Amino acid sequence: MAGEAEGLAVPAPSFAPSLAARFAALPVADRTSALAELSDEEVEGLSHDWRFWARPSQLPPEGQWRVWLLLAGRGFGKTRSGAEWVRMLVEQRRARRVALVAPTAADARDVMVEGESGLLAVAPPDFRPLYEPSKRRLTWPNGAIATCFSADEPERLRGPQHDAAWCDELAAWRYAEAWDMLLLGLRLGSDPRVVATTTPKPTRLVRALIAAEGTFVTRGATRENLRNLAPQFLAEIVKRYEGTRLGRQELEAEILEDAPGALWRRDALEGERRKPGEVPSLRRIVVAIDPASSSAEGADETGIIVAGLGEDGHGYVLDDRSGRYAPEHWAKEAVALYRKRAADRIVAEVNNGGDMVQSVLRTVDASASFKAVHASRGKVVRAEPVAALYEQGRVHHVGCFPALEDQLCGFTAGFDRRRAGSSPDRLDALVWALTELMVEDSGQAWLDYYGELARKQG
């Protein structure tokens, strides 16, 4: 069976199984007898009956609720739950205008619509929606329409009206404003509702929803769906991370607060967060890179952070484009950001790549201003002055960067690379950026700032 990977036994379920699982546990004679009583049409219908295949935790709750918040681990079946909920509303004519909102436009398309458990995959042959990618729209045979939106573009949700919405990976949304815009447009019909499926993270939006009246919270762990997951996933992911802090969040769906002794605090990040329109004129902008030594699967990420120094002397984190890239790809990404942001300099750590780092960047743009930096001190020593700037309220994140902020709030003075299993590359790139802008040149930056204030005041 799929979940029975070598060296990892599938535990007896401690949760309510699906009707399909209970049916499969019956003696063969009983199963054969029951199926014999069904017509071919009924058997075909059963194959598309989500109530038969779903575990109770994957089904929408009874009663009155405005938001169903499904907080679940990786592989739980969140996407299938959201897609089947939308399909049910449309088939029952309880929804005519549906909003599909994901962290990015690509996520909406690749996961919610075209994904293995997305809306096209769960549709029965006789009730399959027409998908028009250029219009970001699905249209069902009964006239119901679903439109895809990116949480990165909250303004697109300002005008449209809906009677239902499915929001995916809510904890990864960069702008909580997208949620506000969605709710303001969720005003059609007599009972507009929204389902939010997400791996939990302690973002302000997730915490607010949990506490909000009208929210029904369902929690689910990866282990509930072990028998339907690939053996490789169980052997390599579950076995590796089970019992760890990351595993508790990604597999057990626990909402974890800051690590004890972390150099950064989530409440401080939230308190100093800014919107794009609240950023002053920037005196300097840098793109900082912490290159990974490999781009192979399972390797560390290449950290790529854009930050600026405002005319108020404060630092502003503008973008996080970190990821697993081959050298030519992270170089192209960094140079593209350098040009887009009209940055003054690209700063890159060269401990792992030496001259290769500069050489790769020069092949993309020979004219880009470049500065090589060397990590002669440990990560904690380098990070502490930057963490102090945050404590002083002098650094602001423009928007939300969940992956970066997870690294910050999990980073302690006792950080051990081997014990952690990976390097906080986003954090490293951030530290290089803000060190360049505010630590090494801090004296001159403040002299310039106060000089400008004196000039304005005459």
In a domain, 39, yes or no: no
This prediction has a pTM of 0.61
CA atoms within 13 A on the CB side of 320: 25
- 324 shares a domain with 175: no
Domain's final residue, options 195, 219, 250: 250
Is the model's pLDDT at 21 over the cut of 70? Answer: yes
The whole-number pLDDT of residue 446 equals 44
- 442 and 304: one domain? yes
Give per-residue pLDDT as tens, 87-122: 999 999 999 999 999 999 999 999 999 999 999 999
Beta bridge partners of 397: 317
Q: Where is the domain boundary, 250, 279, 305?
A: 250
Inter-residue contact 346 to 286 (CB < 8 Å): yes
Domain span at 64: 54-250
Q: How many domains does the chain have?
A: 2
Q: Say what the pLDDT of residue 416 is.
A: 65
pLDDT tens-digit map of 243-269 = 555 666 667 666 666 667 788 988 888
The predicted structure's pLDDT at residue 202: 78
Structure token pair of residue 22 = 């209970």
What confidence score (pLDDT) does residue 423 get?
Answer: 77
Residues 271, 180, single domain; the answer is: no
pLDDT in tens, 212-242: 889 999 988 777 777 777 777 766 666 666 6
3-state helix, strand, coil in the chain (%, to 5): 45, 20, 40
Same domain? 154 vs 222: yes
The answer on 58 and 184 residing in a single domain is yes
Confidence of residue 8 (pLDDT cuts 50, 70, 90): very low
Ramachandran region of residue 327, left (φ > 0), alpha (ψ -120 to 50) or beta? alpha
Percent over 70 (pLDDT), the chain: 83
In a domain, residue 455? The reply is no
Q: In degrees, to the nearest 5, what angle opens at C-alpha 232 toward C-alphas 12 and 107?
A: 100
Q: Is residue 58 part of a domain?
A: yes
Q: Are residues 142 and 60 in the same domain?
A: yes
CATH of the domain at 281: 3.30.420.280
Distances from the Cα of 333 to the Cαs of 162, 220, 302, 336, 360, in angstroms?
37, 37, 11, 5, 12
